[in-house]
Amino acid sequence: MSYQDHRRDYTKGGLSRDDLHENPLVQFERWLKQAIEAGLADPTAMVVATNDESGYLWQRMVLLKNKDLVAEKSFVFFTNYSSAKAQAIDYSPRVSLHFPWNELDRQVIVGGVAEKISARETAEYFLSRPRESQLAAWASQQSRPISARTMLEQQLKAMKEKFAHGDVPVPDFWGGYRVVPDRIEFWQGGVNRLHDRFRYYREGDVGEPTWRIEQLQP
Ligand SMILES: Cc1cc2nc3c(=O)[nH]c(=O)nc-3n(C[C@H](O)[C@H](O)[C@H](O)COP(=O)(O)O)c2cc1C
């Protein structure tokens, strides 16, 4: 089966320099709000690309979980600190994020450095999760092989019994990362493949960054 005829036109309108906020995190929130309002299935889903010790690149989706992205000046997600992605981040904290908002003819690509958030911030989020999700975090040794799904179900059952009474504590192998961006690109599909691309480059201090904006050829 050939996929060569699968294509569509991008007609949702262009993106110009005047549309852009000076702060890319404010600009990102504008677009994310529109993605949420448009009813996208997973508007906060982002692909995280990492580079591991053997030079192997890998990607996977996680969910954006900031409380206040503009104030935090970073992109936060939660995961298992022993997972393959966590080991890759330990080796090389430089990561890339990708938000594929195809229904809006848009994508946002972030380059930055990942660091663990504080145990207090992790606990605050973990305790807000449904109990089933808390138990699932305990039950999965994420990224490790299993011989059968029943093993996972047994592990979940064991955790349910272990934490039958009271709150489920935060696993010490689980928590958040923040990705502090130094590049953010906004891409809007255009008519006749003349797409609009603007990339922000961080300059100056991480705490008080200024951003230079460049327009790129599609
Ligand atoms: C829509 C979606 C959201 C996901 N959200 C998360 C998440 O927030 N955290 C997480 O650890 N895994 C999440 N996953 C699973 C990851 O994609 C991945 O399978 C898992 O984290 C293991 O990755 P690793 O072995 O490369 O570390 C999500 C998957 C999908 C498709």
Any idea what the CATH number is for the domain that residue 205 is in? 2.30.110.10
Whose CA is closest to atom 31 on ligand 1?
A: 61
Give the strand pairing for 174-188 and 196-203: antiparallel
Question: What is the reported pLDDT for 202?
Answer: 98
C-alpha of residue 88 to centroid of ligand 1, in Å: 14
Residue 79 CB less than 6 A away from ligand 1: yes
Q: Pick the catalytic residue: 131, 144, 193, 212? A: 193
Q: Which of 190, 208, 78, 177 is nearest to 136 (CA)?
A: 78
pLDDT at 82 exceeding the cut of 90: yes
139 within a domain of the structure (yes/no)? no
63 within a domain of the structure (yes/no)? yes
Encode pLDDT of 28-81 as tens digits: 999 999 999 999 999 999 999 999 999 999 999 999 999 999 999 999 999 999
7 within a domain of the structure (yes/no)? no
Residue 42 CB less than 6 A away from ligand 1: yes
Instruction: Give this prediction's pTM.
Output: 0.97
Residue 99 CB less than 6 A away from ligand 1: no
66 within a domain of the structure (yes/no)? yes
Encode pLDDT of 171-215 as tens digits: 999 999 999 999 999 999 999 999 999 999 999 888 889 999 999
Q: 210: domain range?
A: 17-129+172-216
C-alpha of residue 193 to centroid of ligand 1, in Å: 32
83 within a domain of the structure (yes/no)? yes
163 within a domain of the structure (yes/no)? no
Distances 101 to 38, 154, 181, 185, 187 between C-alpha atoms, Å: 10, 37, 19, 13, 10
142 within a domain of the structure (yes/no)? no
Residue 30, phi then psi, degrees to nearest 5 = -60, -50
Query: Count of domains in the chain?
Result: 1
For 127, the token pair is 């305790």
- How many Cα atoms within 13 Å fall on the side-chain side of residue 12? 16
pLDDT at 149 exceeding the cut of 90: yes
Q: Is 94 a catalytic residue?
A: no
